[in-house]
């Protein structure tokens, strides 16, 4: 996994739980990297999982909740790392369509060894999309957090329903992403 994911995770932990919490995580995890990350390097995927589990143990927040929250936090860091021309999407749906066909293609040009998830809009309809997610990391909750934060950046709220999930034996996840309607008073 790219070091930028780890540096964003460290920033989130320090911002939300304090530097002492980050130091505790490093002390409690036997990390091959020693917890020292460079944004452009690759690190063992197991390290992020170890850190999330340790954070869950430290904060009593369920792992699934932390992974989704990290996805929300990570969105800003990932978007900031893109060239300005790749941040200018008119709406959430256009952005989601561009993830695999444009953004991940550009990531692979910069980092040929990057392992990006498949995130493909399979179906579009008036109020949303069906997203196909597949990754050996099985971090669909991170993707859900990213989508929620992306929606917020466009001034909207979405509901996301797992129609099938890799954690339940499927070879992919299928996410139904629907715009939530604003309630009228």
Q: Is the pTM of this model over 0.85?
A: yes
Q: What is the pLDDT of residues 6-43, one digit of tens each?
A: 999 999 999 999 999 999 999 999 999 999 999 888 99
CA distances from 21 to 10, 56, 81, 135, 148 (A): 10, 11, 26, 29, 26
pLDDT band at 103 (very low <50, low <70, confident <90, very high): confident
pLDDT band at 91 (very low <50, low <70, confident <90, very high): very high
Q: What is the pLDDT of residues 125-146, one digit of tens each?
A: 999 999 999 999 999 999 999 9
Whether 183 has a pLDDT exceeding 70, the answer reads no
121 Cβ contact partners less than 8 Å away, ≥ 6 residues apart: 93, 96, 97, 129, 130, 131, 132
58-84: b or e for each residue (b if 16 or more CB lie within 10 Å)?
eeeeeeeebbbbbbbbbbebbbeeeee
Q: What is the pLDDT of residues 145-174, one digit of tens each?
A: 999 999 999 999 999 999 999 999 999 999
What residue segments make up the domains of the chain, in order of their start? 3-61, 73-179
Give φ, ψ of 176 to 5 degrees.
-90, 115
Q: What is the pLDDT of residue 84?
A: 75
8 Å CB contact between 135 and 123: no
Architecture in CATH of 73-179:
Alpha-Beta Complex (3.90)
């Amino acid at each position: 996994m790219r070091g930028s994911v780890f540096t964003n995770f460290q920033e989130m932990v320090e911002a939300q739980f304090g530097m002492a919490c980050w130091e505790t995580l490093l002390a409690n995890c036997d990390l091959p990297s020693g917890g020292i990350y460079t944004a452009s390097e690759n690190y063992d995927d197991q390290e992020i999982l170890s850190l999330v589990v340790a954070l869950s143990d430290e904060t009593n927040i369920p792992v699934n909740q932390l992974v989704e929250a990290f996805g929300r936090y990570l969105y800003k860091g990932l978007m900031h790392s893109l060239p300005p021309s790749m941040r200018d999407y008119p709406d959430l749906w256009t952005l989601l369509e561009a993830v695999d066909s444009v953004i991940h293609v550009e990531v692979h040009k910069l980092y040929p060894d990057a392992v990006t998830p498949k995130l493909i809009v399979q179906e579009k309809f008036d109020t949303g999309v069906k997203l196909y997610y597949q990754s050996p990391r099985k971090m669909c909750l991170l993707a859900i957090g990213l989508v929620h934060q992306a929606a917020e950046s466009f001034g909207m709220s979405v509901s996301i329903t797992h129609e099938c999930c890799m954690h339940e034996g499927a070879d992919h996840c299928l996410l139904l992403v629907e715009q939530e309607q604003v309630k009228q008073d």
